[in-house]
Amino acid sequence: MTLRSAAPMSLVCQHCKDSRATVHITDVMPEQRERHLCQDCAEKEGIIIKQHPLSTNAILQQFMKHKAVKGVADDLSCPKCGMSFREFHVKGQLGCPHDYEVFGEVLKSLIERTHEGATRHVGKSPSTADAAVRKRTGLLRLQRALRQAVEDESYEVAARIRDQIRVFESP
Amino acid sequence: MTLDELTLTTGEWLRGAGNLSEIVLSSRIRLARNLAEYPFLSTASSTERTEIYRRLADTISALPQERDALLIDVDEADEVDRQVLVERHLVSQQQADSEGRRGVSISPDEKQALMINEEDHLRIQVMGSGLELYALWSRVSRVDDALSERLAFAFNPELGYLTACPTNVGTGIRVSVMLHLPALRMTKEIDRVARATRDMRLAVRGMHGEGTDAAGDLYQLSNQTTLGKTEEEIIKGFSDQIVPKIVEYERKARESLVQTSPHLLDDKIWRAYGVLSNARRLSSDETQTLLSPLRMGIGMERFDRFDISALNEMFLYSQPGHLQKMHGQSLCDEERDVVRADYLRRRIAEN
């Protein structure tokens, strides 16, 4: 059982004897003892788990500092809900579905960064979405599957997918 | 069905059964959806918020499969009930703590909970014991289809489902599994999990989500990317690759403990049993920490004083909300620790 206490200043990590200890633990089992570790050593011990190196918030912060974004984003605000890009930056939440259009390219490049470079939806659509939308996402999905099959050198699968794409593309 | 009736059992995800259940406690999938004609909750007025609530609650309760569901107005629920819902993973901490009209519709089997007015207008979530993501996906997708025939969800052909936070845009899917990894922590190899998940852009967190530490050696693993992949691809990555890999690491770590330090392992298990069956005061955290080696001991057949369902019962009922619900009145921290220790001693003696 471990308890975290308030951080006493300027302790050196007991493990690596190098970095400043920022994690302070009082073990009460199996015996009472205090330990002072730095972030890295605490992570190695499994006491805390490293967050993904780029959390969404970090990406957003980094992104807003970017020179190209600064000027452009400042002026953007949604006529429907009144949300400005600056306000979005503070809250981390958009104001309405229309914001995705209003914040256009600026938001798009943010989305790209948070989703491993992806810019297009290939998953399911509402059952009421029109046939054209379904056809397009279906086609995108097949094209991705084709690329994968070629990469895996599964040429028989690739040939089958190619035929499916032809059917899809025929009017 | 009422909330009080729900709390008589440990519910679905704590059944302690299912695929790889000695290490994978539970699986969960949630979809984020918003009504196209309303603003997101960050700018919605309280009138709009109430309209969204009514619209969704009415549509959900009109679904044939939701006929017997329990709708709880979280805004009107008292603090203990809210805590109980969080502990059963039926609502998020955020849903419990926020303000304004909000609620949850819970299916009688407790496998499904639809949160209304959480961060998005609607979050459809399904959960189960062990690793069972494929079955959960078909269930959650069916509910989503049924609702989308009756409601217009905010959707854009290019970006997919539009969500309040752009980190959820696209599929709006969050797949998560809760893993019990005591041996990896004991053998100090837990960073292998972090390494294994890093390139897949998955998040590893403590049991209660972002910012919480891994009390009781429970880790929650979930996807971060929601755009540019199909739901099936995301699920496949979890089910067929990452989860089996981590389970294998944990199994190896357990085996190596048996090989190299069986006395240390048994001592940890039986010492925890000793404390749980004798202590006069126990905090929630300490209880979780003590139950962890026992959970492992049962899974490894090195501990047999009670079985996994008894352990899961203690795991759930020793948490603050359930403890107070069971006791019939709210208690301060100090009182809770005494009542908790009493309960655990009694429950263990029953076996």
- Asked if the model's pLDDT at residue A4 lies above 50, the reply is no
B146 & B243 share domain: yes
* Mean pLDDT score, A152-156: 85
Distance from CA of A94 to the nearest CA of B (A): 5
B238 & B318 share domain: no
Q: B254 lies in a domain? A: no
pLDDT of res. B79 = 93
For the purposes of burial, counting CB atoms within 10 Å of the CB of B94, is it exposed (0-12), middle (13-18) or buried (19 or more)? middle
B308 & B192 share domain: no
In which band, very low, low, confident or very high, does the pLDDT at A7 lie, cut at 50, 70 and 90? very low
DSSP B113-125: EEEESSSSSEEEE
Nearest CA-CA partner of A117 in A50, A59, A76: A59
Give the 3-state secondary structure of residue B228.
coil
pLDDT of res. A9 = 42
Examine residue A8 and say whether the peptide bond preceding it is cis (omega within 30 degrees of 0): no
Tell me how far apart the alpha carbons of residues A95 and A81 are, in angstroms, rounded to a whole number. Answer: 6
CATH number at residue B216: 3.30.590.10
Of A38-47, A137-146, B110-119, B281-290, the one with minimum mean pLDDT is A38-47
Tell me how far apart the alpha carbons of residues B183 and B186 are, in angstroms, rounded to a whole number. Answer: 5
B230 & B281 share domain: no
* Mean pLDDT score, A151-155: 84
**Residue B113 pairs with which residues in a beta bridge?**
B106, B125
Check if the beta carbon of residue B269 is closer than 8 Å to that of residue B293: yes
B81 & B203 share domain: yes
Q: Which residues of A touch B140 (CB under 8 A)?
A: none
Of A15-19, A155-159, B27-31, B289-293, the one with minimum mean pLDDT is A15-19
Q: Return the biggest CA–CA distance within chain B.
A: 64
Strands (E), B107-248: 112-116, 122-129, 155-156, 160-161, 173-180, 202-206, 218-223
B178 & B310 share domain: no
Orientation of helix B320-327 relative to helix B79-87, angle to 10°: 130
Q: Which residues of A touch B39 (CB under 8 A)?
A: 80-81, 95-96
B194 & B276 share domain: no
Structure tokens at A48: 């805390």
For the purposes of burial, counting CB atoms within 10 Å of the CB of B303, is it exposed (0-12), middle (13-18) or buried (19 or more)? buried
Q: Does A76 touch chain B (CB under 8 A)?
A: no
pLDDT of res. B292 = 96
φ/ψ of residue A160, rounded to 5:
-65, -45
B80 & B51 share domain: yes
pLDDT of res. A67 = 54
Q: B86 lies in a domain? A: yes
In which band, very low, low, confident or very high, does the pLDDT at A105 lie, cut at 50, 70 and 90? confident
Strands (E), chain B: 24-33, 70-73, 103-106, 112-116, 122-129, 155-156, 160-161, 173-180, 202-206, 218-223
Tell me how far apart the alpha carbons of residues B285 and B343 are, in angstroms, rounded to a whole number. Answer: 15
Q: B89 lies in a domain? A: yes
Q: Among B249, B284, B307, which residue terminates a domain? A: B249
In tens digits, what is the pLDDT along chain B, a chain of 351 residues?
788 888 888 888 888 888 999 999 999 999 999 999 999 999 999 999 999 999 999 999 999 888 899 999 999 999 999 999 999 999 999 999 999 999 999 999 999 999 999 999 999 999 999 999 999 999 999 999 999 999 999 999 999 999 999 999 999 999 999 999 999 988 888 877 877 776 666 777 665 554 455 678 998 899 989 999 999 999 999 999 899 999 999 999 999 999 999 999 999 999 999 999 999 999 999 999 999 999 999 999 999 999 999 999 999 999 999 999 999 989 999 999 999 999 999 999 998
Q: Are strands B112-116 and B103-106 parallel, antiparallel or unpaired?
A: antiparallel
- ipTM of the predicted structure? 0.87
Q: B255 lies in a domain? A: no
Tell me how far apart the alpha carbons of residues B133 and B232 are, in angstroms, rounded to a whole number. Answer: 10
Q: Does A167 touch chain B (CB under 8 A)?
A: no
Mean pLDDT for all residues in chain A: 75
- The DSSP 8-state label assigned to residue A6 in this structure reads -
B197 & B313 share domain: no
Tell me how far apart the alpha carbons of residues A50 and A36 are, in angstroms, rounded to a whole number. Answer: 17
Q: Among B198, B220, B249, which residue terminates a domain? A: B249
B184 & B330 share domain: no
Task: Please name the member of A44, A93, A97 whose beta carbon is closest to the beta carbon of B154.
Answer: A97
B99 & B236 share domain: yes
Task: Tell me if the pTM is above 0.90.
Answer: no
pLDDT of res. B177 = 94
pLDDT of res. A52 = 47
Tell me how far apart the alpha carbons of residues B245 and B239 are, in angstroms, rounded to a whole number. Answer: 10
Whether B165 sits inside 8 A of A94 (CB atoms) is: yes
Query: What order do you get walking across the sheet with A33-37 strand by strand?
Result: A2-4, A23-27, A33-37
Structure tokens at B336: 């809770």
pLDDT of res. A41 = 77
- Asked if the model's pLDDT at residue A2 lies above 50, the reply is no
B110 & B205 share domain: yes
- Asked if the model's pLDDT at residue A27 lies above 70, the reply is no
pLDDT of res. A18 = 73
Q: Among B220, B249, B278, which residue terminates a domain? A: B249
Q: Which residues of B touch A114 (CB under 8 A)?
A: 166-167, 224-225
Q: Which structural domain, as residue segments, surrounds residue B190? A: 3-249
Q: B344 lies in a domain? A: yes
Q: B257 lies in a domain? A: no
Q: B27 lies in a domain? A: yes
Given its phi and psi angles, is residue A114 left (phi above 0), alpha (psi -120 to 50 degrees) or beta? alpha
Q: B217 lies in a domain? A: yes
Q: How many domains does chain B have?
A: 2
H/E element holding B254? Answer: helix B243-260
> B286 to chain A: nearest residue by CA?
A1
H/E element holding B183? Answer: helix B182-186
Q: Which residues of B touch A46 (CB under 8 A)?
A: 184-185, 188-191, 214
Whether B203 sits inside 8 A of A51 (CB atoms) is: yes
* Mean pLDDT score, A42-55: 58
